[in-house]
Amino acid sequence: MRRAKLRQEIWVHGLSLVFFMVAFSSLPAFGQTPILEFSFETEPLAIPQADFASAWLRVTNSSVYEADDIEIALLSGPVELSPIEPIEVLDPFSDMLLEVPLSLGEDGAEGEGEALFELAYTYCIDDVCFQLIEEISLKIEMTPAVVEPTNGQIPDPVQILPAKERNAWELVFPMAVGLALIAALIAGRTFGRRWWVLVLLLVVLVAGLGYGMLLKQDQQAQSIGAVLCTSCVGIERAPREDPELSSEARTRIAAISQEVELLFFTATWCQACPYAKAMVQQVIEINPRISYRSIDVDEDRDAAKHYGIVQSGRTIVPAILRVDTGEVVFGIENLEERLIALLEESP
Amino acid sequence: MRVAKPRRLGQSLGLLLGFFGVTGIGMTHIIFPGLHCYACPWAITVCPIGLAQNLIIFGTVPYFWIGMIVAYGLAAGRGFCGWFCPFGTLNDLLSFRKVKILDAVSYSKFIVLAGTLIAAWIFVDTMFCKICPVASIEASIPYLIMGVAKVNQPFLVHMGILAGTLVGMILIARFWCRYLCPMGALLSLFNRVSFLRLKLDKNRCSGCAACATDCPMGIEPHTQYDNHNCTKCGRCVDGCHMGALSMDFSLKGSE
Ligand code: SF4
Ligand code: SF4
Ligand code: SF4
């Protein structure tokens, strides 16, 4: 009897330990979440007319993955960006300063402006690689020309400065919460409902709920619940391969003579959306009279409401809406056929 | 009779809250204390297992999730299985054959739970949801009726799983809750410390095992009280002629 009891205890402890170890060791970063943070250290940046100045961009990698091929490009703004080499690798848990050499033409007006940059990078989890693109803006103060303009002389492109110290708290706190929980559960199973077990659990409860809500994780939970991606609970299968339009479909699409505007509703974590999006992109390549705009339902919930992508309180993605008729196609099942029907209909 | 009535009320409340979305209220921030699909068109709460998978995919440290689970665990442990969870209520309604539980096999729930989390991590997708029988009832069928879903391969997989689970439930009372439910596994970790608990007065117990014949989880309450599988449903309490078992809700620590 006692041995059986002991065996049972070992089972339970072992399993709960394994479970929480797996749960916690798997926490830091998965999926297509951004792993880099960007911020300009020199903001606003003053540049004299017909001169150059360098903005310093801090790039922080707080994940367990290495980021590769970090590239910066200028999207808009009053300045010019001198070409810089992409950064090949940024190691996990490290950061660096990147010098962004900017120059202002002779005729640049005085006053304030804003430059918008695009940052692209990739990271891989085993065989799955993600490319992420982010935008960041920089305020620029354009000042009168200095007495001796250096005209076009450009500083050394990239300089990597030593990493800033990491914030240990970010690692220690989740570990403390996790360990307290494991300890409380094991103690609870072994010693029963002692008051200190209850206190320990209450501490975990308050820390978890409090810090979680501080991080707005309750809202995150709500938004996960409020959007249904059709492949997620297995309403459809999410294909990993790209769609291939049949030749008959291509001729039918090319024959469409009316202007059609589509809205494509998607979510970053939606597994079925890339397939649908790739198909829409193929369609607009075939027929330039068809255009589309992509809407992230997590960012723009009102648009989804406004266009009726919400069904019984759930926003469903992927959804393709034709603006003039208001018709919607949900999901990816038999998408080619349904998409063409949507396009061919006369308003 | 004493426990049965309030428990039916609790289960009705669970159903009511589970499907409160009929009123058009939409999704709230609350995590459901049972297995209840967030994809259900009428759900107003987030499924804990569905959310856990998503958090792994997003790489979020799940503070809020842990806080909520601990809150539920501390309040009642698997009491939510006996008193609240709609799928548990379905299990309950089909509890005809209260055969004895295979204790060692019942740890398979933890394998399902661990597998669910690991699969979410490896495949960066909510793999468990694709084979979840709750989603078969609460998502696949409603969306088929609404015209969003089609009868396709995933749908048939869902229906197959549902059929298998239903057969299991008819042959073995609370089959899903005993052996397979990942949420049941999570809540069972708290069973010994929760405020709601089953109490046994050893001096009164005659050892007749009348309670054991009533237990849908197939436990012998008079020897195995505080068991991690007990759903605190109180059938044994009502079944005991000696009044040796009772339900107890107390905030105090005890031995
Ligand atoms: S499919 Fe199952 S696990 Fe997934 S959200 Fe629905 S009930 Fe929860
Ligand atoms: S074991 Fe799972 S399905 Fe059964 S009652 Fe508990 S949470 Fe609900
Ligand atoms: S031991 Fe009693 S309270 Fe627990 S599940 Fe069995 S009948 Fe219900």
Atom of ligand 1 nearest to the CA of B48: 8
Question: Is residue A240 in some structural domain?
Answer: no
Cα separation, B216 vs B232, whole angstroms: 11
Which has the closest alpha carbon to A271: A235, A304, A305, A302? Answer: A235
Domain of A138, CATH number, reads: 2.60.40.10
Cα separation, A266 vs A32, whole angstroms: 14
Do A146 and A204 fall into the same domain? no
DSSP H/E element including A57: strand A51-61
Cα separation, B199 vs B196, whole angstroms: 10
Atom of ligand 3 nearest to the CA of B221: 1
So what's the pLDDT on residue A154?
45
For A146, which DSSP code?
P
Is the four-CA dihedral A150, A151, A157, A160 of positive or negative sign?
positive
So what's the pLDDT on residue A237?
77
Ligand 3 pocket, mutate which of B230, B240, B247 (most atoms under 8 A from CB):
B230
Question: Is residue A237 in some structural domain?
Answer: no
Q: Is the pLDDT reported for residue B67 higher than 50?
A: yes
- In order, the DSSP letters of A35-49 are -EEEEESS-SEEEET
Q: Is the pLDDT reported for residue B103 higher than 80?
A: yes
So what's the pLDDT on residue A31?
44
ipTM computed for the complex = 0.89
Cα separation, A308 vs A33, whole angstroms: 28
So what's the pLDDT on residue B124?
80
Do A143 and A195 fall into the same domain? no
So what's the pLDDT on residue B165?
95
Nearest-by-Cβ selection for B29 from A30, A31, A219? A219
B27 contacts A313? CB cut-off 8 A: yes
Ligand 2 pocket, mutate which of B32, B40, B85, B188 (most atoms under 8 A from CB):
B85
So what's the pLDDT on residue A15?
65
Do A95 and A173 fall into the same domain? no
A202 contacts B193? CB cut-off 8 A: no
Look up residue A168 and give its two tokens: 């240990």
pLDDT > 90 fraction of chain B, expressed in percent and rounded: 56
Do A38 and A152 fall into the same domain? yes
CA distances from A104 to A75, A80, A144, A254 (A): 15, 6, 11, 46
**Mean pLDDT for chain B overall:** 90
Domain boundaries, chain B: 4-188, 199-243
Do A24 and A38 fall into the same domain? no
Question: Is residue A242 in some structural domain?
Answer: no
Q: Is the pLDDT reported for residue B181 higher than 90?
A: yes
Ligand nearest to the CA of B186: 2
So what's the pLDDT on residue A26?
46
So what's the pLDDT on residue B35?
95
Residue range of the domain that includes A118: 34-161
B139 contacts A235? CB cut-off 8 A: yes
Average pLDDT over residues B181-210: 91
CB atoms within 10 A of CB A156: 9
Do A333 and A300 fall into the same domain? yes
What angle, 0 to 180 degrees and rounded to 10, lies between the N-to-C axes of helices A169-191 and B63-76? 20
Residue of higher predicted confidence among B250 and A314: B250
Do A196 and A259 fall into the same domain? no
Question: Is residue A241 in some structural domain?
Answer: no
> Given CB atoms, is B91 within the 8 Å cutoff of chain A?
no
So what's the pLDDT on residue A5?
64
CB atoms within 10 A of CB A261: 13
- pLDDT tens digit sequence for B30-42: 999 999 999 888 8
So what's the pLDDT on residue B160?
94
A234 contacts B157? CB cut-off 8 A: yes
- pLDDT tens digit sequence for B108-143: 999 999 999 999 988 888 899 999 999 999 988 988
So what's the pLDDT on residue A144?
74
How many structural domains is chain A composed of?
A: 3
Question: Is residue A66 in some structural domain?
Answer: yes
Q: Is the pLDDT reported for residue B78 higher than 60?
A: yes
Question: Is residue A328 in some structural domain?
Answer: yes
CB atoms within 10 A of CB B42: 17
Answer yes or no: are the C-beta atoms of A115 and A62 closer than 8 Å.
no
- In order, the DSSP letters of B32-100 are PSS---TTSTT--SB-HHHHHHHHHHHT---HHHHHHHHHHHHHHTTHHHHHT-HHHHHHHHT----PP
- What is the three-class DSSP state of B130? helix
pLDDT > 70 fraction of chain B, expressed in percent and rounded: 98
Tell me the whole-structure pTM to 2 decimals: 0.70
Do A253 and A268 fall into the same domain? yes
Do A46 and A112 fall into the same domain? yes
Question: Is residue A239 in some structural domain?
Answer: no
- What is the three-class DSSP state of A234? coil
Which has the closest alpha carbon to B200: B173, B226, B164? Answer: B226
What angle, 0 to 180 degrees and rounded to 10, lies between the N-to-C axes of helices A273-286 and A247-254? 60
Do A43 and A87 fall into the same domain? yes
Nearest-by-Cβ selection for B148 from A174, A205, A316? A316
Do A17 and A86 fall into the same domain? no
Ligand nearest to the CA of B217: 3
* Boundary of a domain, candidates A135, A161, A187: A161
CA-based nearest distance B163→chain A, Å: 16
Do A11 and A49 fall into the same domain? no
B212 lines ligand 3 (CB under 6 A): no
Cα separation, B15 vs B72, whole angstroms: 17
Burial of B231 (0-12, 13-18, 19+ CB in 10 A): buried
For chain A, 347 residues long, give each residue's pLDDT as a single digit of tens.
Answer: 466 666 666 666 666 666 656 655 444 434 457 788 888 887 788 887 777 788 888 888 876 677 888 888 888 888 888 888 888 888 776 778 888 888 887 766 677 888 889 888 888 765 667 778 888 888 888 877 655 444 444 444 444 444 445 567 777 888 888 999 999 999 888 888 888 999 999 999 999 999 999 888 888 888 888 888 877 777 777 777 778 888 888 999 888 888 899 999 988 778 788 888 889 988 988 988 998 888 888 777 778 878 877 766 678 888 999 988 888 888 888 888 889 988 888 77
- pLDDT tens digit sequence for B203-212: 999 988 888 9
Which has the closest alpha carbon to B178: B249, B84, B107, B75? Answer: B107
A237 contacts B153? CB cut-off 8 A: yes
> Is the backbone of residue B174 left (phi > 0), alpha (psi -120 to 50) or beta?
left
A314-317/A227-229 β-pairing: parallel
Domain of A269, CATH number, reads: 3.40.30.10
CA-based nearest distance B18→chain A, Å: 13
Cα separation, A109 vs A142, whole angstroms: 7
Is the four-CA dihedral A191, A193, A194, A200 of positive or negative sign?
positive
Instruction: Choose the most confident range, by mean pLDDT, from A22-26, A89-93, B194-198, B224-228.
Output: B194-198
- For residue B90, the CA-to-ligand 2 centroid distance in Å is 10
So what's the pLDDT on residue B85?
96
